[in-house]
Amino acid sequence: MTDFLVLFVGAALPALVLVLWFRALDRKRPEPLGRVGWSVLLGFVAAAPAAFLGILASLPAAYMPGPLALVWLAFVTAALVEEGVKYLFLRIQLKRNPHFDEVMDGIVYAASVSLGFAFAENLLYGLDDRGALVIRAFTAVPMHAAATGIMGYWLGRAKREPEAASAHARRGFLCAVLVHGLYDLFLFAGGAAALLSMAVLVWAVYRVVALARDARAQDEARAAV
């Protein structure tokens, strides 16, 4: 029982801290905790179909030369599948959500879905190696939040600018796949290249923070009208 509790807390804590941090960024008009919690739950559930699709998507890599296999595994098996499933579950959350009315809301809900997803992944990795939870707390977990958070910004823009909704949604999804794919590609390559994954992570975190600042400015400007 104690061992499971350690696993559960170690898997959940990094995601919980980041969920609360993203919600705090939206402190002027925060989203209801129930809606945020529902988003986390959806992300947790989304990990199951993503794992199944990931297994299927990884099969062609066995017939590819090494470098191409790495690219396939990073951008298709990991990034495209995982961000695609998160995107679908995020749209479920945003559809008919009366509280989703600002650009910043898109970031909050997207980050929450992604962190529920990261929580589920943490449980799986932690079953084999508790030490992996410490490493993932500062790498994979914030990467998920940043990549999908960037996507959430563009979904928020899509909500506020319906005339460009499709273009914004497409851009957000492609940005998330690119960030996630580059991070995994350098990580899978190993050696010195793995350091580049940290550079991708730092840039992605910096970018989502900048987008959150821009989102709040846009929301404040509209609220003042």
Tokens representing 34?
A: 């129930």
Q: Which of 128, 92, 130, 107 is nearest to 9 (CA)?
A: 130
Structure confidence by residue, pLDDT tens digits, 163-194:
999 999 999 999 999 999 999 999 999 998 89
What is residue 64's DSSP assignment? S
Q: Are 29 and 155 in contact (CB under 8 A)?
A: no
Tokens representing 106?
A: 């898109």
Residue 104 to residue 109: CA distance in whole angstroms: 9
Structure confidence by residue, pLDDT tens digits, 27-43:
888 999 999 999 999 99
Whether the predicted model's global pTM rises above the 0.85 cut: yes
Asked if residue 146 has pLDDT above 90, the reply is yes
